[in-house]
Amino acid sequence: MNKTQTKDVRMFVATDECLNQNQSKWAAINAITNARNKLNANITTIKNFDQQKASSLSNPVTSNKEKVKEQLEHKISVLAGIVASYAAAGNLKEISEKVKLLSKGFSKKRETDIEPNVKSFLVLVNELMPDLGDYAITPEMVADAQNALSQFISLVGVPRTMRVKTSSAKKEMDDLIGENKRLLSEQMDNLMLRFKLTDSEFFNSYTKARAIVDTGVRHREKPEEPQTPV
């Protein structure tokens, strides 16, 4: 949650705790019970969305993708070295150029270009396999590179997907925070007026809980006290 959201949720929790501690004073009033239950449920949902947002951060996935990319590049470079050596020995310039084009510069290639390039390169390697007996290249080496490519493909686009989920969670939190603020200002604050004179201690405790405390500064941003209906 950002700073503003954190302030709002802190106020919601303080208000909910105040109501919980004084439940015997309002438990018989269904309107207060319903409003408080909605407030409490929204708080729980907001916290769940915040945890979802935190778990959706893309950095760990991006780090894993880069590791898989490095492993893929290493496996391809081994195969490319073998094929390049074979091409040089036979003065096969066309094959040599294909190897350079398809297997080099992973760090400079766009992610979307890596898959087709590697696939084309592995097709070339498979075509040359019958002629590479002296180079100790095995089908397992090619399969290992193919598996690394599959792992890399599965991770491409995942960080963006997680950012979309994070954005969605933020919107959901914003909506619920807005709903809770309206619930308190339009319903609960007015329902609490009945305790202003009959139970000033409870009323003052509620009013204090409704104040939004900004951590790091000494003042309180206190909401307007509900006006007594005329």
In angstroms, the CA 69 to CA 108 distance is 12
Q: What is the mean pLDDT of the chain?
A: 81
Q: What is the mean pLDDT of residues 64-76?
A: 84
- First CA to last CA across the chain, in angstroms? 40
pLDDT (tens digit per residue) in 99-155? 887 777 665 667 777 888 888 889 999 999 999 888 888 889 999 998 888 888 777
| Predicted local confidence at residue 217, as pLDDT | 35
* Residues sharing a CB contact under 8 Å with residue 134, sequence separation 6 or more, in sequence order: none
For the cut 60, the answer to whether the pLDDT of residue 28 exceeds it is: yes
| Closest C-alpha to 221, from 203, 206, 208 | 208
Q: What is the percent of the chain where pLDDT is above 70? A: 78
Question: In 90-220, which ranges are continuous DSSP H helix?
Answer: 93-103, 111-128, 139-155, 158-183, 189-191, 195-198, 200-209
In angstroms, the CA 25 to CA 195 distance is 9
Please say whether the dihedral angle defined by the alpha carbons of residues 55, 58, 60 and 61, taken in this order, is positive or negative.
Answer: positive
| Predicted local confidence at residue 3, as pLDDT | 85
In angstroms, the CA 32 to CA 213 distance is 24
| Closest C-alpha to 8, from 135, 227, 197, 175 | 175
